[in-house]
Amino acid sequence: MRILLVVVALACLLSAPLSARDTGTKRAELGSLPITFEPNRGQAHRDFRYVTNNLGPRVGFSDSAITIPQNASGRPTRIIFLGAKRGTQVRGEQRVATVSHYYTGKQRSRWQSDVQNYAQVRYASLYKGVDAVFYGDHGRLEFDFLVAPGADPRQIRLQVECGCRLRVNAAGDLTFGEGVTEQVLLRRPLAYQGMQGRRQSVESRYQILPGNRVTLVVGPYDRARELVIDPVVAFVTFLGGDAYLFFRGLAVAPDGSTWLALLGPDETSPPLRLSIVKLAASGTSVVSRTDLSTFEPIGLRIDAAGALYVAGKTIFTDESTTPGAYQSAPPPAPPGYEGQFRVFGMAAKLDSAGHLIYSTYFSAGFVEILNSLAVDGSGNLYLAGSSYSPAFPVTEGAHRTEPLPAPTAPMAFIAKLDPAGSNLVYATLFGSAPFTTAIADIAVSANGKVFLTGGTFDATFPTTPGAYRVNKPEGSAAYVAQLNQDGTGLEYSTFIGPGGSHKIFLAPDGAAYIAGISESSTFPITPEAFMSTPSPFGSIFVTKVAPGGGSLYFSTFVGGSKQDIPSALDVDASGRAHVFSYSTSTDFPQAGSALGNAIIFRLNDAGTQLEFARYLGIWLSPPTGIGVDGQGNIYAGGFASEVREYPPATGLATRDGYVELAPITTGTPFLVRVENTSAAALGKLPSAVDCGEQRINGEGNRTVRLVNVGDQPLQITGVATTGEFSQTNNCTELAGGQACEVTVKFAPTSTGAKVGTLTVTSSASASAQQVQLTGTGTNPILNLAPFTAGFGSLPIGKTSNGIPLVFTNTGTTPATVQLEYSHFRQPTEYQKDDFFFTNDCEAIAPGQSCTEFVYFKPRALGTREFWVFVVSNSAVEFNELGFQGVGTEPLTFTPQTLQFGSWLVNSTSTPQTITLTNVGGDFIALLDITIVQGPFRQTHDCPYGLDPGATCRFVVDFRPVTVGPVSEGIQIYTGTGGLQIAGLYGTGTDFQLVLTRPARTGRHAPSASSTGVMIELVAEKEVRGAKFRCEGLPTGSTCVFRQTGRNRYEMTVARRSQRLGANLTAGNYTIRVIADVAGIVRSQTVVLSLP
């Protein structure tokens, strides 16, 4: 069983020649370094016996399972061998030259060096008569089940722990996830037996059992011979993209061996671990891998003995350091800086085999930011950067010893450590004022003279007599300076021109090459320079400063019409400058198609010609690195934040099987090698091209690109095909770096597997290149039953029943079907988020049917439309399928309205209740609840939102203030953007005062006589709380009111003359009766006769 796990040792490190003759397989293997295995000595989780030697999370091998660190959902995947024999021996086999070293943490007793690597790991007798063997193949992790003669393959049972649901897709692959998130775990199993040097296929397939258990169903085979079950499995975890692997440095030795600094995740001590990887000069293997805790490097350098130096920064106080180091720990924070955020410098040295020689902090207690490093012929290490510490350790007699003028004011510095990393030889500040001068890069001569470059705004920046330029230009100025051997003084210091210098390289004669950026037309350009006028956005300058700094050998611009920035510089033995750059220009000279922002270019030794320039087809993220070996081959490395096209149509192409090897992918580090040659060369073609399945009498196309990877003209002399394949092409003569395309056409006339060849001959080689062509003729005929495309109305968030799409295969070979969002319409033309569908149909056998479902879940109000595209291998093509539904408000009131009827003005009704319910499928926010105006009052218990099915209540009463009908509503503004209203209705009424003629007279007090009047309050409802009084009575009389019925009262007038001692006069009196109900006053008069 073969697992194609792209968790490879440097699978993302690619090689591609720019100008290269066909030299076999020497170089392309940089793209798929062999994955190896090592015993676990504490560098991984203790449950593992062996682990893969890859950067980032490792695949672990325990007694009866393998653990793959991360799947598409971010979870680890564990494949358990169910029923495996106890005590299964897990052992490494076939030792390889690669060794690993682990120097992480402060506990040196836990450091490991010279950990041996193996080509494969075997689970011996995993089952009775069955071994499992894991190995690497072209950067992929694979494994086979080897079933001995007479053994039973039904013993093999797997359980997959992934927090997912397994399924077998139409191709027979074991997968999890759906649609765009589908991830292949095990590809369709291929079982075979060897017979007379050939493979005889055996039918096999997966069967999924409950609990994510998987068995292998194998057809008839010869049980007297060994059976190999090889599912060609591909569980993909992209190293660097999903695993967060970052490029941090590159150094190239004269023999072509390459050192890389990479930061990757560390499962034992987060967050990140620095790994230094050395690749053999052949590019086909890893010499060593050294892990050094968590500091972030800023560059790598190699000394004459082949030792490697790395420097960088860290915020941690427990980095790995060696005995006798200059600083085994950072010094304490200076007074007044306690508790503040601190940054420390770090430096380390490895021998040529990757062993740690020394590791030390470089800190003055607060913040030291390293920008560059260099090493001299004696192994002394030089560091340059900026210091914010108030007590930077300048040495006696140094070039500048003045302390920093103010806290947190950065000053540039240069420091020198001895070859053992134990002592500070010297340290000096540089520049005249804080904040104004930066050292971007340094180089050092064999005898220890430091050359530095950068940019400065300092008007008092020190220059020396006889320098090329002593007057500072306006704004930022690029400079070059040279320190003497003991760091006590400047041998020269000169301005170059307006702009900023980023990189420096020192030639053996003491000339300094610098590369930077400037948009100034006054920047110095020498006669016959390649380019004399910069872009207004800033162009790259490459300048060669003569020894002594008194003149320029050459100075030229390089770039297009937009901004171009140099990121790395190296110079070969012939004096030709090589630059790796970022570019926003789409017209960089000689670079071909503008794909991405990464460009490599080379100038001739006089700066008058651009010998080549190429876009790489990727977008870079800093930092980057470039190096040239002793044969003039160029190595460029970086981090691909986005891949547009690699290799690009013009310029770069790999040979030796690029299509078969790991490509540069978005979110990965990469390494490109450009071979130095002068010839025509046809880039290596893929060994095979699969045209896939094609219906009989149909036609499918594949494109094969032919690239002249040399720099001399290449003649394409012949292109031919065999079998049921044909071709067309536009290939004649290709200049260096140019490409053409061959379109291979597959048009089967019958069903079944088809094989042919594509043969290309050219003037570059006497031997033709051949590509195997394969394809399969099919005859599926898929029919779709009629269906209803309307979902009707549905509350927001509620999921409909599915509309079934029933597909039936009436053809003679299996049919595949997959639903996709329509790509014929713009996203603004339909509401794809309101609909979803299943993709459960696997291969539909002839005569069989399968059903997919489309669902509607509205996300907004109103009519929602959706289109589905049916992808199938069927001879019957489908138009896009349209669906429609209406999203309705998910909140409902019960009842919809409240009727309060008639109530006397200023009176208060009996309260009523109304219930609000979320009938939708999503949480609905209640943004505002109001009754706009009117005589209705409400209280409620509604929260800030309602979950599906949740309710809340409103209690409402009615207090009319005017006569007549009133209608208002409870208004709720919701998170769906809708307005929901419950109607509230009531009527305000008045009353009339009616007095009837006297019903009787009588006396109601011992000494008085009275006359009675009947009073009626005419109203639609019972009037409560009425208050009465009367006016016009004679002195000594009073009105007495009593209720006699609903809205009926009796008033009597009593004479109390005897009690009051008043003399009353009998007669007729006009009396006004006044009624007051809730502030509404009505009155009538009545004439009463008092006896």
The mean pLDDT of 588-605, rounded to a whole number, is: 80
Fold annotation for 688-765: Immunoglobulin-like (2.60.40)
What band does 828 get if pLDDT is binned at 50, 70 and 90? low
Weakest-pLDDT range from 519-523, 807-811, 817-821: 817-821
What is the three-state SS of 1000-1065? CEEEEECCEEEEEEEEEEECCCCCCCCEEEEECCCCCEEEEEEEEECCEEEEEEEECHHHHCCCCC
pLDDT in tens, 68-82: 876 555 677 889 999
Q: Is 677 helix (H, G, I), strand (E, B) or coil?
A: coil
pLDDT 10s digits, 909-935: 899 999 999 999 888 888 888 875 679
Distance CA 709, CA 707 (A): 6
Distance, CA of 836 to CA of 221 (rounded, Å): 44
- At 1061, the pLDDT band (50, 70, 90 cuts) reads very low
Can you give the residue ranges of every domain in the chain? 1-303, 688-765, 782-871, 891-989, 992-1090
pLDDT above 70 (res 499): yes
- The answer to whether the CB of 328 falls within 8 A of the CB of 361 is yes
What average pLDDT does range 706-716 have in this prediction?
79
End-to-end CA distance of the chain: 127
For residue 710, the model assigns a pLDDT of 67
The predicted structure's pLDDT at residue 406:
55
Position 677 confidence tier, pLDDT thresholds 50, 70, 90: low
Structure confidence at residue 1000 (pLDDT): 47
* Predicted confidence (pLDDT) at residue 31 exceeds the cutoff of 50: no
- In this prediction, residue 1013 carries a pLDDT of 82
CA distance 547 to 492: 9
User: Does residue 1039 register a pLDDT over 70?
Assistant: yes
Mean pLDDT calculated for residue range 566-581: 94
Q: Which residue in 743, 758, 654 sits closest to 699, CA to CA?
A: 743
Residue 397 zone, left/alpha/beta (φ > 0; ψ -120 to 50; rest): left
For residue 653, the model assigns a pLDDT of 36
Show the 3-state SS of 416-436.
EECCCCCCEEEEEEECCCCCC
Joined together, the tokens standing for residue 729 give 């092409």
Say yes or no: do domains 782-871 and 891-989 share a fold.
yes
pLDDT tens per residue across span 718-744: 999 999 999 999 898 888 767 788 999
Q: Residue 13: which pLDDT band, with cuts at 50, 70 and 90?
A: very low
Better-predicted residue by pLDDT, 532 or 1041: 532
Looking only at the bridges linking them, the beta strands covering 89-102 and 286-291 are parallel
3-state secondary structure 942-967: CCCEECCCCEEEEEEEECCCCCEEEE
Gap between the Cα atoms of 978 and 920, Å rounded: 13
pLDDT in tens, 310-360: 999 999 998 999 999 999 999 999 888 888 999 999 999 999 999 999 999
Which 3 state secondary structure label does DSSP give 154?
Answer: helix
When pLDDT is cut at 50, 70 and 90, the band that residue 26 belongs to is very low
pLDDT over 70 (residue 702): yes
The DSSP line for 286-338 is: EEEEEE-TT-EEEEEEE-TTS-EEEEEEES-S-----TT-S-SSPPPPPTT-T
Mean pLDDT, to the nearest integer, of 268-280? 79
Residue 256's region, left for phi above 0, alpha for psi from -120 to 50, else beta, is left
Looking at residue 657, its pLDDT comes to 23
What's the pTM? 0.66
- Which of 248-262, 560-574, 725-739 has the weakest average pLDDT? 725-739
Q: Residues for the chain: how many in total?
A: 1091
Q: What gap in Å lies between CA 376 and CA 367, rounded to an integer?
A: 26
Q: What is the pLDDT of residues 761-804, one digit of tens each?
A: 998 866 688 888 988 888 888 899 999 889 999 998 899 999 99
Per-chain mean pLDDT for the chain: 83
Q: Are 817 and 841 in contact (CB under 8 A)?
A: yes
Residue 179 has pLDDT above 70, yes or no: no
pLDDT at site 32: 53
Q: Does domain 782-871 have CATH number 2.40.160?
A: no
Distance from C-alpha of 679 to C-alpha of 132, rounded to nearest angstrom:
47
Domain spanning 891-989: CATH 2.60.40.10 = yes
Residue 705 has what pLDDT? 81
pLDDT for 182: 60
% of the chain exceeding 90 in pLDDT: 42
Phi and psi at 229, nearest 5°, equal -105, 115
Average pLDDT over residues 251-264: 89
CA distance 760 to 767: 9
Q: Of residues 845 and 182, which shows the higher confidence score?
A: 845
Of the pLDDT bands very low, low, confident and very high (cuts 50, 70, 90), residue 250 is very high
Paired tokens of 285: 């293997």
Higher pLDDT, 1087 or 364: 364
Q: Give pLDDT, residue 572.
A: 93
> Structure tokens of 187?
């590809």
Q: Measured between alpha carbons, how far is 308 from 297 in angstroms, rounded to an integer?
A: 13
Convert the pLDDT of each residue in 138-168 to its tens digit. Answer: 666 778 899 999 999 999 999 988 877 888 8
State whether CATH 3.30.530.80 applies to domain 992-1090.
no
620-673 pLDDT tens trace: 777 889 999 888 888 888 887 776 554 443 333 333 222 222 345 556 777 877
| Helix-, strand-, coil-residue percentages of the chain, each rounded to 5 | 0, 50, 45
- Pick the residue with more confidence: 545 or 712? 545
pLDDT at 557: 98
Per-residue pLDDT tens over the stretch 106-140: 888 889 999 999 999 999 999 999 999 988 776 66
**Beta-carbon contacts of residue 252 (< 8 Å; ≥ 6 apart):** 258, 259, 302, 570, 627, 628, 629, 635
> pLDDT tier at 1011 (50, 70, 90 boundaries)?
low
- How far does Cα 616 stand from its chain's mean position? 22
What's the average model confidence in pLDDT over 198-223?
Answer: 86
Asked if 903 contacts 958 with a C-beta cutoff of 8 angstroms, the reply is yes
Distance CA 710, CA 479 (A): 38
